[in-house]
Structure 1
């Protein structure tokens, strides 16, 4: 392989690495499931038509970026996604969705490691 071709190959690899690394790190940071103990739930309403959960984060840095829901045996399991990057998102969240799950007995916040915390009904 000629010196010119090696230099061109190294330049391409270096450039792709410089661009890809921040994108991968940013994607990971935006989709991080937040530990349930770091989440403050201020209001939970459950009706036959609508489920609403309002809250925020225990620190002032985290930003809300979405959620995942799963359902099993009349219980809802919600993962809140957030990031500590200063771009986009909000400090507080207001999640509201149609109750297509029927009779809900309990709602839990679930973390990355399946740690869970019951948020509804309050005991």
Structure 2
């Protein structure tokens, strides 16, 4: 009976470790406060955003965009172990023709946001 309990405990601990390691490979949306914007340009054709991730050990994984009522929401994604060797810096180029009527750009994580254009 004791041997079964030890095997079961070992199995559960192994599962927790495996799922923890796998979870670190997947990206998460980063908090707007952990993102440093170094350059922001809204031109006639292109919206350009350059910056870096200030969260220790987190690497840039990508981004997603949504638009609602003239506000452009940008979700920056990061991961502890991204595939492809990306660093913590990013350079996002967005075709403004797809978002011609925007009047505000926010970094957004699903709960919190930070306005990055126009500057407050």
- Flag whether TM exceeds 0.5 (same fold): yes
Equivalent pairs, count: 108
Q: What is the RMSD of the two structures over their aligned residues, measured on CA atoms?
A: 2.6
Q: Which runs of 5+ in 2 are unaligned?
A: 1-10
What is the Cα deviation at residue 103 of structure 1? 2.3
Query: The residue matched to 2:76 in structure 1 has which SS?
Result: strand
Secondary structure of the 2:99 match is coil
Structure 1 residues not aligned, in runs of 5+: 1-13
- Give me the whole-angstrom Cα distance separating, in 2, the residues matched to 1:122 and 1:22: 39
Native 8 Å contact 2:61 2:82 kept in 1? no
1:95 pairs with 92, 97, 114, which one? 92
- Structure 1 residue aligned with 2:49: 53
Q: Contact 2:70/2:102 (CA < 8 Å) preserved in 1? A: yes
Task: For residue 90 of structure 1, report the CA deviation from its aligned partner.
Answer: 1.2
Q: CA deviation at 1:24?
A: 3.9
TM-score (norm 1): 0.74
Say whether residues 1:71 and 2:67 are aligned partners.
yes
- TM-score w.r.t. the length of structure 2 is 0.75
Q: Which has the larger radius of gyration?
A: 1
Residue 62 of structure 1: CA displacement? 1.4
Check conservation: 2:24, 2:80, Cα contact below 8 A: no
